[in-house]
Amino acid sequence: MAGKVIALVQQKGGSGKTTIAVNLAVAFMQEGARVSLLDTDPQGSLGRWFMARRERLAEPGMEFSTSSAWGVGYECEKLRRGADFIIVDTPPKVDADLRPTLREADLILIPVASSHVDLWATEGVLDLARRERKRATVVLNRCKAGTRLGEEVAAAAAELEAELAEARLANRIVYAETLGEGLGALESPRRGPAGDELRKLAAEVRAMLE
């Protein structure tokens, strides 16, 4: 069976696309899946994470490729043959360059860093996803315990008629720490509650792709 393509898309920078991409990749890898990462963002954060991982580990446990926006179709065609999941990190923008990625995607994940500003930035992504007839799901990221903001953003997402993932990622230091080390939070002995969050998100994404 051909691999499934998961695209992380958000026109606002700093929403957590790369963080979610690498942590989903590690979660799937630990479940025994074959995973490939594809970086289409010129900033190259996903690539820097992967190179840090190669320096740290004898076996990264996943494949990595880069592509221009318009070369995504060709790369995905190759990667589908050898991977169960292809996770694509995209630039923080929404324009015609994004269309090739959306066309390849089996699922679009839109990180929202629990702010109304991030949520407003999803409208363009949702519009493009609808035009391409692709499933798009909002993932609340950096949620802060004890605040009402996450619930307010969730309610606003419903008003946008956006599908909202049940799994949410909290604002935890372990995500930033492990990202700089070329690891996923699940690979840290200090993963704590982050491990439960990530396993729940990975299971939910798997279910969406079935």
Average pLDDT, the chain: 91
pTM of the predicted model as reported, rounded to 2 decimal places: 0.93
Least confident stretch, 14-18, 143-147, 176-180: 143-147
**Among residues of the chain, what percentage have pLDDT more than 90?**
68
pLDDT reported for residue 114: 66
pLDDT reported for residue 64: 97
Query: Confidence band (pLDDT; 50, 70, 90) for 146?
Result: low
Domain ranges of the chain: 4-209
- Is the pLDDT confidence value at 119 over 80? no
pLDDT reported for residue 152: 74
Distance CA 173, CA 176 (A): 5
Q: Choose from 46-50, 121-125, 189-193 the range with maximum mean pLDDT.
A: 46-50
Contacts for 27 with CB less than 8 Å, ≥ 6 apart:
184, 186, 198, 199, 201, 202
pLDDT reported for residue 123: 85
Measured CA distances, 176 to 55, 56, 80, 180, 188 (Å): 18, 17, 29, 7, 12
pLDDT reported for residue 134: 93
For 147, counting Cβ atoms within 10 Å of its Cβ (0-12 exposed, 13-18 middle, 19+ buried), the class is exposed
For 107, counting Cβ atoms within 10 Å of its Cβ (0-12 exposed, 13-18 middle, 19+ buried), the class is middle
85 and 6 in contact (C-beta within 8 Å)? yes
- Is the pLDDT confidence value at 151 over 80? no
Q: Which residues of 91-105 are buried (b: 16+ CB within 10 A; e: fewer)?
A: beebeeebbbbbebb
Here the tokens at position 186 are 């699940």
CATH topology (fold) of 4-209: Rossmann fold (3.40.50)
pLDDT reported for residue 147: 64
- Is the pLDDT confidence value at 74 over 90? yes
For 20-70, write each residue's pLDDT tens digit: 999 999 999 999 999 999 999 999 999 999 999 999 999 999 999 999 988
More confident residue, 206 or 149: 206
Q: What is the DSSP letter of 70?
A: G
181 and 52 in contact (C-beta within 8 Å)? yes
